[in-house]
Structure 1
Amino acid sequence: MIITSLLDTDLYKFTMMQAVLHQHPGAQVEYRFKCRTPGIDLARYIDEISTEIDLLCELRFQPDELAYLRAMRFIKPDFVDFLGLFHLDRKYLTLRPSRQVEGEIELIIRGPWLHTILFEVPLLAIINEVWFRNTSQPDFEEGRRRLQAKVARLAAPGYEDCRVADYGTRRRYSRQWHGELLPLLREGWGERFVGTSNVYFARRYGMTPLGTMAHEYLQAFQALGPRLRDSQVAALESWAREYRGDLGIALSDVVGLDAFLRDFDLYFCKLFDGMRHDSGDPFVWGERILDHLQQHRVDPRGKVLVFSDGLNIERVMGLFDHFKGRCRLSFGVGTHLTNDLGPEPLQIVIKMVRCNGQPVAKLSDSPGKSMCDDPGYLRYLRQVFEVQDTPDAE
């Protein structure tokens, strides 16, 4: 059994889910799976994946898990009470071999946002682990060697204030390897290692669980907000109403950085603690964010820039060298930590594509990372937010 606890997911799934419960409990959504790595025959293992999903849907939150969530300062008692009744329901999920491409799978999640939001991360972890246990022999010694080299590299003098977190749940080689590497990172990096996005392992090892919001939260407001042009502002204001200044890291690339900066006015510059980068050139992004804060008379040294897009240790160190002393910095590293044992990691995602029957999309700052099932809507979204048209939709 790959997933043994419903806590084995990223913290931002719970923080978003709480906001959905309180503000949009009736919203209906659709998610779709995409494997961006060519030539991957997942259909061969569809029965094994399906069995693991059945086991996932049998899980319930245990009393000690609920008590752990209840102790978090930003988690409300009524949300924990709801989780005490919650389980993932297989009826909201469709899994079948692709009708268009041999070897691919179609995975569609369709139902109430409140009851489907927790599917994404464990499903991706399941698909990853099923694939790797059938197509490779784990070389944990090689994985430990590579991990120790990364630990030693960042432990070099001058990086004592560099802060790194694990963001690799959905991309991990296996749950076993994920659980083994986290204590090694804490032992090797000490205070440089600030925690993990994975709630299960944060609880198990006494680490800090980290996370705020994901793209789906802002995407949904394209169908929930007062009008499309105001959807990003509506999502950020909704978040502020829910958390009253807590969990104050804003995601900046749902409709592109240009549109984000137009919406992120003085009010948001003062209200939010920082911004997270997840696509586009991180150096250009950071410079533009710092300049934007200064133009609004906000001291960047009091704000945190969180970098989380495909990072490795060399890129972390380069970004730290470039921006240190000018702002606070944090780095979320995923695949480079949790799936670096030799075999090529899979590029798989599950993205929200519809909300309340309407298409929604992410306009990424990196070509190829956008995902939408309605090209006409994607063109309209670009027009509304004045984003240059590029052929990067899937």
Structure 2
Amino acid sequence: MIVTSLLDTDLYKFSMMQVVLHQYPAAQVEYKFKCRNPGIDLVPYIDEIRAELAALCSLRFGEDELNYLRSWRFIKSDFVDFLGLFQLNAKYVHIAPAAAGNGEIEIRINGPWLHTILFEVPLLAIVNEVYFRNTQPALDLGEGRRRLHEKIALLRDSAGYQECRIADYGTRRRFSGAWHEEVVTALRDGLGPQLTGTSNVWLARKLELRPLGTLAHEYLQAHQALGPRLRDSQVAALEAWAKEYRGDLGIALSDVYGLSAFLRDFDMYFCKLFDGTRHDSGDPFDWGERVLAHYAANRVDPRSKVLVFSDGLNIPKVMQLYAHFRDRCQLAFGVGTNLTNDVGPTPLNIVIKMIRCNGQPVAKLSDSPGKNMCEDSAYVTYLRQVFQIPAPLEEDTH
């Protein structure tokens, strides 16, 4: 059994789920899986993935786990009470070979947002671990340990980087659950205060680390169907978040419509209200310069705000960004796949994205077109018109 606790997921799933319970309990959504690596044949592992899904759906939150969640100041008691009754249901998940017959698999999650939001992260972890334990059954993790300790030493021992801190963001694409725990334990023991925490709630609890996370793309995408009108959907999402958390969890995600559209909506009110912003696509140096300039233009001291970088980072890239932006703002770095799946074989680049909410298409139009995913090209065109986003030369809408 790969996933043995419903806490084995990322914190932002719980923070978003609480908003859904309180503000959008009737919303219906659809998610779609995609493997971005060419030539990966996952069809032979469908039965094994289904068996792991069934095991996942047998789990319930234990009383000690609920008490742990209840200890967080931003989690409300009625949400924990709901989780005490909660159980994932496999009827909302469809897994089958893709119609093209090319080795790809189709995974779709369709049902109430409140009852499907927790599928994404553990299901991606399951696909990863099933794939690698079948294709690399006798892999020697010595190479992974060597690479990991080199990364720890580079960050810890490089002069001038003692205040540069990272967090683990690697649950979704980890080599395995056991390797993930070994990695985070080594980071904790090797980096000390330079490790600020982990996005994984189960590991945070077990290893006595700080759980980290706020919101993800699906939250802002859903507001395309939930907000008052499409043009105001980003503002509606941020206001709903502020209504729920009253200043807690104050990191805004900036790339659902691209940075230019985000900055048009992220006015002085939001600049002052939110603690900072998170980068997840496009050039990080350009992004950071534009965000800092935006704060200054809105009479907000950039040094009081946090820039969170989380897009495909490795330790050298973290250090480059730290050297560039240090002393100009507060900095945070979330490193994922390069920590939890750098053991030799090429990692899987897999995602599960929301594609519909309440029967209508939703989409992400990030600053990295390869990250976009929507099944309705006409809707993507309309979304670009509404948010004044030029179309790139190439765009993946499938």
Q: 1:392 aligns with which of 383, 391, 395?
A: 395
- Structure 1 residues without counterparts, runs of 5 or longer: none
Establish whether residue 210 from structure 1 lines up as the match of residue 191 from structure 2: no
- Residues 77-122 of structure 1: per-residue CA shift (max 9 Å, x gap): 0000000000110111111111124211110000000000000000
- Residues 318-352 of structure 1: per-residue CA shift (max 9 Å, x gap): 00000000000000000000000000000100000
- Matching residue of 2:245: 243
Deviation of residue 188 (structure 1)? 1.1
Which runs of structure 1 show a deviation greater than 4 angstroms over 4 or more consecutive aligned residues?
none
Counterpart mapping for 1:186-197 below 5 A = 186-197=188-199
- Matching residue of 1:309: 311
Deviation of residue 51 (structure 1)? 0.4
How far apart are the structure 2 equivalents of 1:176 and 1:191? 23
- Residues 235-254 of structure 1: per-residue CA shift (max 9 Å, x gap): 00000000000000000000
How far apart are the structure 1 equivalents of 2:190 and 2:106? 41
- Structure 2 residues without counterparts, runs of 5 or longer: none
The 3-state SS of whatever aligns with 1:184 is helix
AA aligned opposite 1:161: E
How far apart are the structure 1 equivalents of 2:133 and 2:290? 43
The 3-state SS of whatever aligns with 1:84 is helix
How far apart are the structure 1 equivalents of 2:358 and 2:264? 27
The 3-state SS of whatever aligns with 2:172 is helix
Q: In the comparison of the two structures, how many residue pairs are matched? A: 394
Deviation of residue 138 (structure 1)? 2.6
Q: Tell me the TM-score normalised to structure 1 length.
A: 0.99
Q: 2:335 aligns with which of 333, 336, 360?
A: 333
The 3-state SS of whatever aligns with 2:270 is helix
Deviation of residue 163 (structure 1)? 1.3
Q: 1:382 aligns with which of 359, 381, 384?
A: 384
Counterpart mapping for 1:95-114 below 5 A = 95-114=95-114
The 3-state SS of whatever aligns with 1:173 is coil
Deviation of residue 187 (structure 1)? 1.3
Deviation of residue 276 (structure 1)? 0.1
| Structure 1 stretch displaced more, 316-325 or 102-111 | 102-111
AA aligned opposite 2:144: G
How far apart are the structure 2 equivalents of 1:181 and 1:313? 14
Counterpart mapping for 1:215-294 below 5 A = 215-294=217-296
How far apart are the structure 2 equivalents of 1:188 and 1:329? 20
How far apart are the structure 1 equivalents of 2:395 and 2:88? 32
- Matching residue of 1:152: 153
- Matching residue of 1:28: 28
Establish whether residue 141 from structure 1 lines up as the match of residue 142 from structure 2: yes
Q: CA contact under 8 A between 1:168 and 1:338: conserved in structure 2? A: yes
Counterpart mapping for 1:356-367 below 5 A = 356-367=358-369
Q: Report percent identity of matched pairs.
A: 70
Q: CA contact under 8 A between 1:139 and 1:342: conserved in structure 2? A: no
Q: Tell me the TM-score normalised to structure 2 length.
A: 0.98
Aligned CA RMSD, in angstroms, stands at 0.6
- Residues 106-144 of structure 1: per-residue CA shift (max 9 Å, x gap): 100000000000000000000000000000133211111
AA aligned opposite 1:79: F
